[in-house]
Structure 1
Amino acid sequence: MPVHAPGPVVIRRYAPADENAVMDVWSRAGRAAHPFVPGEGEGERAREMRETHLVHAENWVAESDGRVVALLGLMGAEIGGLFVAPEAQGTGVGRRLVDHAAALHGRLSLDVYEKNTGARSFYARTGFEEESRRVDEEYDEVILRLVRKAPEDPA
């Protein structure tokens, strides 16, 4: 059963002072979502997260009671990653971040592992539809390309 965020959620830009909290959320959420990815949430993947994604993406955090509970990384209108702390999943925080991204960019796209059924279900509930699929050669896993039309896009 999900634990509801105890206080109001604030969405704000990521700041370098958030790095440790964001890395904790990313690591725990990533390991839970991607148990089939060797070393998820640590090692080389953590270094890449710190040195590349947190530096070059447009990152947003969701805070509840002054604590970072989620991270959204954008590259233009593409969601490069959405990570919600396991204890905050099911509270609406992820939906709030997706809606924030849509308000900024309209049409959104993202890639998600086919085996990540929790994320796939979440994205379906938030209006994403499968556009294509490919195999991630590094891990030999199927990746789905999902898109969510902007509200003004024709159906």
Structure 2
Amino acid sequence: MTHAELNTDIAKAHSSDFQEITEVWEASVRATHHFLQEKDIQYFKPLILNEYLWHVYLFCIRNEKQQITGFLGIAGNKIEMLFIHPEAMGKGIGKKLITYAIQHLQATEVDVNEQNEQALGFYLHTGFKVVNRSETDGLGKPFPILHLALANSTIIS
């Protein structure tokens, strides 16, 4: 995938996209969540596909071949998911999705795995600040979670 292949239009995702979204999730997690073991990925993958995607409003960006390169999941004012395919990382897709979430969906909160330094740096750079910490994730697994809130109403570029 080259930069020229990227299409940065954000569109609502549908249940027919769930399998592809889960594949993007898995590729992204394998590239960024080095603290997870294979058994952890295999544990979360069916939960993503069969449960979690049903509980968020999903938006995605596709390349010119109509492949999903990144997606965003929102519930209330919280970003529940934001994942970019590894081949599309560093090309502005994450920034475009988070800007959309803040400006159009009134997102003001996000949780991030403390051990995912790349994602934490991204959220801090885009105007979020750490407001709390949990020792475990929402399922009680030993993956500390940082709770972030938007520091102000504009994104820092």
- TM-score (norm. length: structure 1): 0.86
Whole-Å separation in 2 of the counterparts to 1:41 and 1:113: 14
- Per the alignment, residue 141 of structure 1 pairs with 143
Letter of the 1:78 counterpart: K
Whole-Å separation in 2 of the counterparts to 1:102 and 1:7: 22
Give the alignment's Cα RMSD to 1 decimal: 2.1
Unaligned runs of 5+ in 2: none
- Per the alignment, residue 91 of structure 1 pairs with 91
The Cα shift of 1:107 comes to: 4.7
Q: How many residues align?
A: 150
Whole-Å separation in 1 of the counterparts to 2:20 and 2:107: 29
The Cα shift of 1:74 comes to: 0.7
The Cα shift of 1:31 comes to: 2.1
Q: Percent identity?
A: 27
- TM-score (norm. length: structure 2): 0.85
Letter of the 2:61 counterpart: A
**Cα distance change of structure 1 residues 7 and 113 upon mapping to structure 2, 3 Å threshold:** closer
Structure of greater relative contact order (alpha carbons < 8 Å, 6+ residues apart): 1
The Cα shift of 1:148 comes to: 1.1
**What is the CA deviation profile of residues 87-141 of structure 1, one whole-angstrom value per residue up to 9, with x for unaligned ones?**
1111110111111111233351111111101101111111111111120163323
Whole-Å separation in 2 of the counterparts to 1:33 and 1:20: 20
- Which deviates more, 120-129 or 5-14? 5-14
Whole-Å separation in 1 of the counterparts to 2:152 and 2:125: 15
- Which deviates more, 32-41 or 119-128? 32-41
